[in-house]
Each structure stands twice: as C-alpha cells, then as structure tokens.
Structure 1
Amino acid sequence: MTGWTGPGSVAATTGCLAMFPGQGSQRPGMARHLLDTYPLARRLFDRADEILGLPLSRICVSGSAQELGRTEITQPAIAATSLAVWEVLRSAGYRPAAAAGHSLGEYPALVAAGVLSLESALQLVRLRGALMGEVAREVPGAMAAVLGLPAAQVLAACGSAEGLGLGLVQVANYNEPLQTVISGHAYAVEVAGKAALAAGADQVVPLDVGAPFHCSLMAPVVEEFTEALAAHAFADPVLPVISSVSGAHVRSGEEARQLLRRQLTGPVRWVEVLHTAARRPVDAYTEIGPGRVLSGLARRTLGQARTRSTGDPRRLTALHAEVTPERRQEPVAS
C-alpha cells in the first residue's frame, strides 16, 4: 500500500507511520546496541556530542538512571537515540509513508521529514529541556495519567479542581481514548485526579517527570524559546509529517516552527495523530527509538494496528534485515 503524497513530498515505499517517542521512553543503556553494532549510529552520536558539547554517547550507553532523568539531558538523549535508529533504517532502505513524534519526538520527526537539520534539532531540544527544567525548579508542578475515563470527563475533573481555586490543572496528553495525562500545580493535579476517580476512572498514576509539561505553567519560557526557533532554518517537509500539536499534517516549514512554539503550553493530541495517519491510509506503525510506549498506544487506539518497535537489538535487527533487500532491489539508472 502506498502512503499519502502531497506537495513537496516523496513517494513512500510502505504504508507505515514512523513514530518517534517522547520523554519517559529513556532507559539506561538505551543506545548501547546501536553504538556497538552500527557505524552510522556511532557517527551520529559523535556528531551529537560535538554539537552539544555533551557526552551523550557515554550517557546513552553507561549513564545512570538519575543522570539520564535530568530533563536537560533526557531530551537530547532520546532525540539522538531516535535519530540514530532512523539513520540506520533509512540507510538500509526504510521509507515510511509519514512521520510523527510524541511531544519531544516531533523534533526527530521533523529531521526525518527534512524540515530541521540534525544540528538545529539537537540545539533546540537541549534548550527546550533546560527551559523546562527551570520551570520545574520554580513551580511545584506535577503530572498524572488518568486511565479508564473518556477525555471529556477528565477535562471536567480538571475544571472542578480549578474552580476550587487550587491552582492550574489542564489536559497535557490525549494519549489514547481512555488514557489522558493532566498537568499543572501539584495540589490541583492531585485534586483533579481524585475527581476523576470519583467519576469512574480505573486508576490515576502520578508520573515521574521533571516538569509540568504541556500546560500554561510553561508560558514564562515561551518568549525565549520563540527567539531560539526564529534563529534556525525550517524547510518545507519532503516527507509527510503529522504534528502532535494539531493532529494534522504540517504543510510548511514556517507552520512547523509555529507548532513547536505552541507545543510548550498545548496538549499532545496523539489520538488525532493516529486517526489522521489511518485516513491517509497508513496500515502499519513503527516506533523509531527507545521504548514501546507508542506501539501500545497505536494498538489500543486503532484496534488491530500492525506495530513494530526498534528499542532493543532483536527488534531493530529484524526490521533492518527486512528493509535492506528493498534497497538492493531498486533499479539502477543507466
């Protein structure tokens, strides 16, 4: 099945959505197999170390969970690991129909789509993580996942908590139809969670994150980040890319820039991303980077979705072997 093509895009060779994970997918040693096995991955990490002046390659191979859990480190580490996987698969012949990234994952997705350079994406992601870390140090914020309750009722629970004057609490992630993440002032998030349980939620799970992401508490850093976005070049996409901010296709580089600005304070609309991809049509979903979170979200949102992940040596090796012959069988121009 051929994926959607539009102005400025290239024809896809599979009907697959390349999904790039966000914060929370990190784990110690997440890039060890990449650096041990694939010279392309080693070169990308060497370049990332040089661009950022950080030992990302060491951190992603042997860093502790505590070191990797610092927001200003987590974000470039996940982005670099995801882009290393992308380079390995792309060089073997992997050609998705479209790309999308969950929050932070939107940056490597934009690199895959030709919108951002590796250097720009890593520099922006590092600043993004640092700015979010500043908010976390100044605001007693929290995030929690509400499970088993439709999003409309989660929104109502947030409204009831805010109505009591307890602070700000908003929906941060629409992850799947019955999994919605809320974010805001710590006590307001706690009270909204209790209201969600009273409304019938199965569970409310506090998230171990470095900051209250994707809510209005991030507003103080928007101006500085907007200035940083303006300093980098954004090209029009050459591969269809779906924004987690709007849930729709990104039509230009300038639109991508504005969406990344909005992403700081706006919710991640992952359910809409998946439904947009399915209408193109996409019939398979590959997680490009550490973890298997997005694969699970795709299956639970779309039912019988075919998913693949690449976060461990066995799965990446299997997919690499599958796509490599496609490259070898392409006709050679005379």
Structure 2
Amino acid sequence: MTSGTTTRHHDRASGDRAARDRTARDRAPGDRAPGDRRPGAAPSGAATPGTGAPRPVALLFAGQGAQRVRMAAGLYDADPVFTDTMDEVFRCFGAEGPALRADWLAERPVVPIDAVGRAQPLLFAVNLALGRMVCGWGVRPAALVGHSVGEIAAATLAGVFETADAVELLRNRVVGSVDAPPGGMLAVAASVAQVTPYLGPEVAVGAVNAPRQTVLAGLDGPLAEAAERLRAAGYVCQRIGCSVAFHSPAAADLVAGSLPVLRRLPLAPPRLPVYSAYTTSRLTAELAARPEFWAGHAVEPVLFWPTLDARLAERDLLLVDASPGQALAVAARRHPAVAAGRSEVLALLPARPGPGEADRRSVVAAAERIRAEGHEIAVPPHPPAIVESR
C-alpha cells in the first residue's frame, strides 16, 4: 500500500467515538477531561517558581495559500484529539467526507489541493484540529488570530460556531465559488503604499501580512496586468494557490450567498479571546452574533499584520503557528517585539512537506518549548512508528 492509496477504512462513527466527540465539545477549550490533570500540575499560564510568569500563548491560524498535500497527515492516528477532530469534520461533510479525507491523505489527490473545494475545507479542518490538540495539552490561549478561513477555525475553537455549522458555511462558500468569475490572489514583496499605484480599478488589497508582504486580489485579467506592472517596476510577485478573488469586491456574490445560511445558524459568544483580522480588535459577543460580519469576510481585506502588531503592543506573547507550513510564523518573526526577544514564535509543523514522522517530531518539539516557557502541559507522547501509507 503506497501513501497515495487510501484503502484502509476507519469506523469513526462508533458510539464511543461519538460520545467522546460530544464530551470534548462540551468542555471549554483548554480544560482537561476528568482525571487528565497530572498531580501538582498548574494550569497553563501559571507562574513557574524562580522564573516568573510565562508569556501567554497566542495561536495563529493560516488561510488560503497555506495548503499543501498531506498537510499535518503525520498526526492522523498519532494524536487522538487531532484525529477525532479531523474525523468530526469529515462526518459533517456527509457524503463528501470520504473523498475529502482521501484527497487529504493522498500524495496525488484526485481533486487538486489548491482547488477551493479542497483548500478551504481542509485548511479549516487542520487548523481546528491543531488548535484543539494544543488546548488538549492544557494550554488555554490568551489570543486566537486567524487569517481568512483561519478566522472561521479560530471562531469554531472559541465556540462561536459549532463544527457542523462552520462546515455548512464553508460548503456554501465552496458551492458559491464554482460560479465565481475566474480570479485569484497575488503575493507581492512590497508595502500597501508601494503597490497602490500599480493596482488599477479592478484589483484590491486582499491582505496585509507584514510591512512588505501584501496580497492583491482580483479577476484574472486585471490581476495579471497588475502583476506585469509591478514586475516591470522591480517588485517580486507570486500567484497564490487560489482560483477565486477572495477579499475583493469581485467576491461580492459570496457575501449575498452566505447571508441566508448565517442568519439561520446559532452564533455564540466566544469562550476564548478571538482577535479578528478584519477589525484588528477583540471579537465581541455582539459582533460575533452578526451574520453580516461573517459574510463580509469574502470581500474585506485580511489585516493580519496590524492585528498582530496591536496584540504585541499590549503584551509579550508566545506565538504558536497552528497551521500548515510556517507562513504566519515567518511573518511574525519579523516583528520588532520578536526580533528583540520580548516575544517568541513557534511553529507546530515543519516549514516544508515531509514524512509523517517530521510532523510528529515538530509537534513534540513545540510542546516541549511551551512547557519550557513555564506552562504546565502534557507533552504528547506520539509513537514514532505509525504506518505512513494510509
């Protein structure tokens, strides 16, 4: 059996697994199951004798463009919380779930990983699974910051959305994207002020990832013309793996299409502090309950860097990139607070794709670093010899 072949089936719908899912969802993130806390262990964030209080943990969740083949697949069947969450998301997708899971685990997926119908659901699932895994160690994050679909994962981790409701929203977005005009996103190594003269009327700033990392969004033709002008001016540009002009006016139909879905979904106050990359501020219960806010994500720019900058101006943090690759970690390491050593950045997963063992070793190393910071957590004892060919 090769790693690109998925013939082994899991019975994830058993009564025991479903009961465990319900129990995990009923606990607040960061709470341990009864009997899980080790004797004498203090909660995450407690002061360590002789070293002072540890820096609070902030979890970062990436969006479209961070997807990759078999992202975090090395944790599947190795970490129970991660595995249960992935299986829960696949179940919520109903008849689509098995194909989604098969493409996630395949070296050569049938549907390309950059397709919206794969990238969006799988990024959501992996982000949420990584976040729950970290909370399952005993970490109670002081901040959750998500980039695009990463904010949906952050809000689900915080209890704003039930998992099934978030999946319904994503399914609606995927269906709407099928009829969206061909477009995309372009990463440019330049500031917003530098790129603005080259945009044209049909291209918008879609994301601000760092002072000199700007993402543009627009329909294919205007975006290609903007890229040509920018390259002629000496700027480095690269298309992101995305076929929809998210975070631009070209995605307006997705807003209208998602509002009816959002208006019938229960939207709860966040149980963990979510800092929205659309407002740069903490997500209030009032804003979380507004369907228009969530629908507007499709056309509004992602202000990741301003949001991160505001958090690091308030306090020193241990920033944990809880998403595939290390795009957010790389951006965060450029912040002056990190460069000066006041705050620190960790990534749960390796920077480049590799064998499943690399995923597991990277997660264990990150957990050890969180514990070394002074957080009393249970470091995951991931077995080194999980079968690679799933």
- Picking from 275, 280, 283, the partner of 1:250 is 283
| Gap regions ≥5 residues in structure 2 | 1-28, 31-42, 46-54, 350-358, 379-390
SS in structure 1 of the partner of residue 188 of structure 2: strand
Q: Which residue is 1:223 aligned to? A: 256
1:40 deviates by 2.0
- Contact 1:20–1:100 (CA under 8 A) maintained in structure 2: yes
- Picking from 317, 321, 326, the partner of 2:364 is 317
Quote the Cα distance in structure 1 between the aligned partners of 2:87 and 2:241: 30
The answer to which structure has the higher helix fraction is: 1
- Picking from 156, 159, 163, the partner of 1:114 is 159
Quote the Cα distance in structure 1 between the aligned partners of 2:91 and 2:286: 26
Quote the Cα distance in structure 2 between the aligned partners of 1:127 and 1:242: 24
- Contact 2:188–2:214 (CA under 8 A) maintained in structure 1: yes
1:234 pairs with 2:276: no
1:41-69 deviation digits (Å, cap 9, x = unpaired): 22222221211121243332226355322
Quote the Cα distance in structure 2 between the aligned partners of 1:218 and 1:261: 11
Aligned CA-pair RMSD: 2.4
What percent identity do the matched residue pairs reach?
27
1:285 to 1:323, Cα distance in 2 relative to 1, 3 A: closer
SS in structure 2 of the partner of residue 208 of structure 1: coil
Q: TM-score, normalised by structure 2?
A: 0.73
Structure with bigger gyration radius: 2
Q: TM-score, normalised by structure 1?
A: 0.84
Counterparts of 1:49-128 in structure 2 under 5 Å?
49-53=90-94, 54-55=97-98, 56-62=100-106, 64-65=108-109, 66-128=111-173
1:212 pairs with 2:259: no
Number of matched pairs = 308
Q: Which residue is 2:320 aligned to? A: 286
Quote the Cα distance in structure 1 between the aligned partners of 2:238 and 2:66: 16
Q: Which residue is 2:88 aligned to? A: 47
Q: Which residue is 1:20 aligned to? A: 61
Deviates more, 1:243-252 or 1:9-18: 9-18
Counterparts of 1:54-203 in structure 2 under 5 Å?
54-55=97-98, 56-62=100-106, 64-65=108-109, 66-135=111-180, 139-147=181-189, 149-158=190-199, 161-162=200-201, 168-199=202-233, 201-203=234-236
SS in structure 2 of the partner of residue 85 of structure 1: helix
Q: Which residue is 1:307 aligned to? A: 345
1:133 to 1:313, Cα distance in 2 relative to 1, 3 A: farther
Counterparts of 1:25-40 in structure 2 under 5 Å?
25-40=66-81
1:12 deviates by 7.1
1:142 deviates by 3.1
Quote the Cα distance in structure 1 between the aligned partners of 2:262 and 2:241: 28
1:269 deviates by 0.6
- Contact 1:34–1:84 (CA under 8 A) maintained in structure 2: no
